[in-house]
Structure 1
């Protein structure tokens, strides 16, 4: 019996983000415009100007109105919009930053997720290299995701709302980059959240729930992407749930009598105001009972999770400076404070900081030609890998839904589809190194998330590892595999046993190196890599996750295969099969 697909009012899934951005810009033409070659930078019409710190926010789609809904005068100057539940790519982030860079520096704000950190870091590195100072604050408000003594490891959820507001007001007030950074850090330190989920959400590409939850169950501490929370149990009353959400938030902020807060009761996508106001009623009672005064309250949908039913409670513990910045006027699609906000004075000088370089010509006569894997054969192997990822997309996403956010298969398919399109532009005489560099750029431009920087770094390192070769022999094939592994390590910093894609790449390379030491040919080395990846994939089922979103699961991640390790085997198995077909 085929499982029923979830219903969504969309056209083609691959057009969803561009169409949604177009709809948002057309709904708010006096506030928003779109800039940049990637078409993923939403920019404020009024506000960005020379001499003002540029505030750039961003993250994956599916959390609307976050993140582009917080672009406007007195708030963020621009937002970089990623795919559903996936970070924007560095180029998308750079489009947003370049469009609003007024020469006083750029402040990046985003949720504390591995993919966002890597992609925004890469964008910041490029801005710095081009002469624009860049600083970042990763929002860490989700108290369910790490204890108080490890706050820096926490996820960012609805607390983005307050951090964005405070940083935007600081920039609008004319504070310099260090001042804006300090204000954002202060807001982040004073913000805590916790959420509850009642139903699953579903990715537009798969139409299947990201996880399973019983009709009478709830998940306390659920993340914004469907990551499992602290516990699952029977559905309780609104008051009991609010009590359970409030207690750890109050503890994290060390609330005491006489303190003053701002409150946010946030719906996750499918919970109406009727229920949210019931939660707000109990939250107000709890704050009053604890002697805590409420300066401002917002109730509604401000950071959602597609169509997930549930809610979160966020508190910002106020001091005088945070209060002033919170009350400062702003105007954006998702948040307006104050009624009188004059048009910004000054102009913005357009700065072209694109530092991409053209591909250099290669002297093919200097390259080693021995070896059976020619550039044409290698490109056939790449096409086979892309086809295999497409074929296994839903399975990989299902694996990810168990311990992550359910988008791994979708994200990998987007990246490898971009690689396929890039190969169409390759000339017949392009070297394997040139093809790898082409692949790296295409993958990184198309995919944010963690897999974008990881695979782009892997492909770049692999390109360098075989730059003296036209064809690959056994040694060069293993060098290419080793380059892929090393690039992943250098960018992601994972270690063996962390339950990541590296746990498949490590044995893949080890097996290939053993085959090479035994004098085996290139095809046999590829077969060994495939088999090593398969064993590594299977071994991850018994590992406890120590990195990425699934890290928060602890022992609950044991018994489930890591999706990144699974996709590694899919890629290497397909590349081996294509090579075998081409060489025999």
Structure 2
């Protein structure tokens, strides 16, 4: 570790933190958990999955422990797909989990409502459909701070995951079919509300630096679980004042009155002890009692954290007879045990779900061979991009820390490191085939939102030049345009949303102008760099409308979008590598 690292963590190499943590979980809970699949990122309940039962698969980024793998066990989740820190698991991680628990009744995916999770679980659901596994999904949307009433579908999933996962797992354990399990989870989500407060920043293992700044006497009301800024920043208040503000927002959003019954979760974000959490619960009890609302059961502790962030969240689940029954059903997991008699474990028949198709043969005699960018030149250009992303990793993460969760540079570096490893040795293949390999390597390594976006981008770019062996200026422009089209087709962002698209679209436009003016490959790439730089700088002038930073409104003004910045880094590296 270097001298400039500002935070301390008990870890070995940052790149080993997830596999070593998984190894530790397995050694700590050998009676409850096992790992399956080639990715080693799917943790499975030893006695949970069985024939005829809906398989419950939860998942998300690491750093929220005990969520998500801590809720794998009999009566709750059958499996968890484990992503990198603050990054969604990839579709392959999720599919390893789905294949391991599918007992003929289908699978249900549950996760927090974040762009990366939605895209990666959607891709997994698409793959399930292609190989004959029925799949349904529920994105948890409990955070009242992240979107107003009437736009609940835009809200983040935070500690409410705890309740929605429990209800879904109990419904499946009870023997309900896929549609009924889905309905129970949707019902729980609709009756769940949360809000949190942060008292300090957290730091990513790869950077060792706080991913946002918060003064010693300040707090952030409405903070997300990845360090996303909240509704407002103000002076630190008393425990009762904080509880009042959180509860006011929650109760304004859900109808609770005399005779209603709730379950309560007072959740620590990683560095707030039980002493403080019980003080918050004391006030929650007073507020609910004043309304004549009965607390059926409470949980106080760390159930959905944010690395070492200080702070807490409050979650209420409004109960009816069915939700109460499901909440009270027994379960046994590393992080949650509800007492009661569990039925004897059943057996799971291993099913074959082979949806893999072999790579198509390429007749090279039909491919255009004019142009200076050979497959080997292209490989060197991509290696240069990976090096440039690595060199700019911390800067990109710092940009993201201001308006997001602070991991963009880390995530891009993980993806491009996988690409560099995949392309380390020359292989006799076309640029389209190289692009396809890049897509798989990036997606398998990253997940998050960048994984599906750039995987789709590389595939689309490769398809755009599938008729060529070497690339001329027109083909290079077509490849860059394919990158942009792939990102837009998967993510749906448009110019003005303050995303990477704000750099890629003008990059394509400027490259096309250079091509129409007779520019060669170098001139077209240089023009693309200029367009991306202009687009990157433009993002500082606009409010964010997509992704985690979309919750900030005017607070996102004046800050460059990290995705647009990384797009510019990539194009500059390509141009420099070609010139060299």
Instruction: Pick the TM interval, shorter chain.
Output: over 0.9
1:324 aligned to 2:325?
yes
1:490 aligned to 2:503?
no
* Residue segments in structure 2 that go unaligned for 5+ positions in a row: none
Q: State the match for 1:378 in structure 2.
A: 378
For 1:17 and 1:206, how far apart are their aligned partners in 2? 15
Q: State the match for 1:536 in structure 2.
A: 535
Q: State the match for 1:366 in structure 2.
A: 366
Instruction: For residue 4 of structure 1, report the CA deviation from its aligned partner.
Output: 4.8
Residues 148-196 of structure 1: per-residue CA shift (max 9 Å, x gap): 1100100000000000000000000000000000000000000000000
For 1:34 and 1:184, how far apart are their aligned partners in 2? 26
The count of aligned residue pairs is 579
Give the stretch that moved more between structures: 16-25 or 349-358: 349-358
Residues 320-346 of structure 1: per-residue CA shift (max 9 Å, x gap): 0000000000000111101422431x3
Residues 112-155 of structure 1: per-residue CA shift (max 9 Å, x gap): 00000000000000001111110000000000000111001000
Q: State the match for 1:430 in structure 2.
A: 429
Q: State the match for 2:105 in structure 1.
A: 104
Contact 1:426 1:435 in 2 (8 A): no
1:548 aligned to 2:547?
yes
For 1:353 and 1:79, how far apart are their aligned partners in 2? 19
Q: TM-score, normalised by structure 2?
A: 0.99
Q: State the match for 2:16 in structure 1.
A: 15
For 1:443 and 1:355, how far apart are their aligned partners in 2? 20
Q: What is the Cα-based RMSD across aligned positions, in Å?
A: 1.0
Q: State the match for 1:527 in structure 2.
A: 526
Q: State the match for 1:390 in structure 2.
A: 390
Contact 1:377 1:579 in 2 (8 A): yes
Instruction: For residue 354 of structure 1, report the CA deviation from its aligned partner.
Output: 4.2
* Residue segments in structure 1 that go unaligned for 5+ positions in a row: none
Contact 2:141 2:152 in 1 (8 A): yes
Alignment partner of 2:150: what SS? helix
1:234 aligned to 2:269?
no
Q: State the match for 1:347 in structure 2.
A: 347
Q: State the match for 1:578 in structure 2.
A: 577
Q: State the match for 2:135 in structure 1.
A: 134
For 1:200 and 1:466, how far apart are their aligned partners in 2? 45
Residues 73-92 of structure 1: per-residue CA shift (max 9 Å, x gap): 00000000000000000000
Equivalent residues in 2 for 1:213-362 (5 A)?
213-344=214-345, 346-362=346-362
Q: State the match for 1:461 in structure 2.
A: 460
Instruction: For residue 250 of structure 1, report the CA deviation from its aligned partner.
Output: 1.3
Q: State the match for 1:51 in structure 2.
A: 52
For 2:403 and 2:104, how far apart are their aligned partners in 1? 42
Alignment partner of 1:79: what SS? strand
Residues 268-319 of structure 1: per-residue CA shift (max 9 Å, x gap): 0000001001101111111101110000000000000000000000000000
Equivalent residues in 2 for 1:201-220 (5 A)?
201-220=202-221
For 2:35 and 2:426, how far apart are their aligned partners in 1? 30
Alignment partner of 1:369: what SS? coil
Q: State the match for 1:80 in structure 2.
A: 81
For 1:125 and 1:425, how far apart are their aligned partners in 2? 32
* Structure 1 residue ranges (4+ consecutive) displaced by more than 6 angstroms after TM superposition: none
For 2:354 and 2:517, how far apart are their aligned partners in 1? 47
Residues 429-470 of structure 1: per-residue CA shift (max 9 Å, x gap): 211111000000000110111000000000000010000001
